[in-house]
Amino acid sequence: MQSQPDQRNASSTMHSTPMEAGRQRQGRLWSNLKEVCDLLHIPAAVSVNSEELLFQHVQFKTGQRVHTIGQAFDTLYIVNSGFLKTVLIDEFGNEQVLSFPMKGDMLGVDGIHTRHYASEAVALSDCDLILLPFKKLTALGRVHMELENLMYGVMSRELVREQAMIGMLGALSAEARVARFLVSLADRFAAMGYSSKLFNLRMTRHEIGSYLGLTLETVSRTLSAFNEIGLITVDQRTIGIKDAEALKTLRRLPPSRSRTKGAGAKQKAETDAAGDDQVLATTA
């Protein structure tokens, strides 16, 4: 069914890591700096003698919490395999999903400032994470400056990602949000070497909705509508991307707010007219 990475027991049958160094069924226990850099997609012309400093792995099972809000901060995590969600809990106990970290993503950065995690990370599947004790990291940073730059880069990247998220929440319609979410997922799967055309969602409609600032019903309806139109295929959590380009450029509610000057007003009108009875539009 699902073409790719099945989660549940993904770690048990680690495709490429039988067991060399340590030895135990799932993943290895330690990674060196180079492996960490590779995972983060950082060039990292590391001159470091790898085997010297090793970082431990830890496994989490589906549903387990990696860290909770308010918990004392002392380590960052890098996802080696598996899928998670990070959430904020508001004053009523409602969850607000902030991100869906997967292979190569870093967790825990929001804990640096106050020395307490500001969000909660939950495993959506069995996961293998690499521990990066923050103290150790900063100490090393002073020796290996590429590591320091790595840290700045990762944090800055995360910042940019959140900015894009804010832009999306502030300006896009429900359909556009769902469409971009799918495209974003597809891209990330592609970057991980999986199919970007057919994959399984690891999260519920509810979680997607929370992430996108929508209700689960709207998410469900929107997916059905995309299916109807032929942009995707939907079967429960299995998604097939049929027209990635259309999804990327899909909008609605085009340029409602803002637009600094009068420039573009004309374009707006045109766009509106064109999009009036068309659900999607090709690149302008």
Partner DNA sequence: CGCGAGATTGACTCGGGTCAATAGTAGTGG
Partner DNA sequence: CCACTACTATTGACCCGAGTCAATCTCGCG
Residues found near DNA in the complex (CB under 7 A): 173-175, 201, 204-206, 209, 213-218, 220-221, 223-224, 234-237, 252-253, 256-257, 261-262, 272
Question: Which residue lies nearer to DNA by CB, 78 or 87?
Answer: 87
- Give the one entry of DNA, a second copy, none that residue 252 binds, where binding means its C-beta sits below a cut-off of 5 to 8 angstroms depending on kind: DNA
Tell me whether residue 242 is exposed, middle or buried, using C-beta atoms within 10 angstroms of its C-beta: 0 to 12, 13 to 18, 19 or more: middle
Residue 58 CB partners (closer than 8 Å, separation 6+) = 128, 129, 130, 131
Question: Which residue lies nearer to DNA by CB, 101 or 209?
Answer: 209
- Give the one entry of DNA, a second copy, none that residue 94 binds, where binding means its C-beta sits below a cut-off of 5 to 8 angstroms depending on kind: a second copy
Three-state secondary-structure class, residue 220: helix
CA distance readout (Å), 2 to 7, 94, 188, 200, 222 = 10, 31, 16, 6, 21
Chain positions contacting a second copy, by CB under 8 A = 88, 90-98, 109-114, 118-119, 138, 141-142, 145, 148-149, 151-153, 155-160, 162-167, 169-171, 206, 209-216, 254-260, 263-264, 267-268, 271, 284
- Give the one entry of DNA, a second copy, none that residue 234 binds, where binding means its C-beta sits below a cut-off of 5 to 8 angstroms depending on kind: DNA
Q: What is the DSSP string of 119-183?
A: SEEEESS-EEEEEEEHHHHHHHHHH-HHHHHHHHHHHHHHHHHHHHHHHHHHH--HHHHHHHHHH
Q: How far is the CB of 283 from DNA (least distance, A)?
A: 21
DSSP H or E segment with residue 80: strand 75-81
Q: How far is the CB of 263 from DNA (least distance, A)?
A: 11
Q: How far is the CB of 20 from a second copy (least distance, A)?
A: 33
C-alpha 158/C-alpha 108 separation (Å) is: 11
Three-state secondary-structure class, residue 4: coil
Question: Which residue lies nearer to a second copy by CB, 166 or 190?
Answer: 166
- Give the one entry of a second copy, DNA, none that residue 236 binds, where binding means its C-beta sits below a cut-off of 5 to 8 angstroms depending on kind: DNA
- Give the one entry of DNA, a second copy, none that residue 27 binds, where binding means its C-beta sits below a cut-off of 5 to 8 angstroms depending on kind: none
- Give the one entry of a second copy, DNA, none that residue 88 binds, where binding means its C-beta sits below a cut-off of 5 to 8 angstroms depending on kind: a second copy
Is the distance from CB of 66 to CB of 126 less than 8 angstroms? no
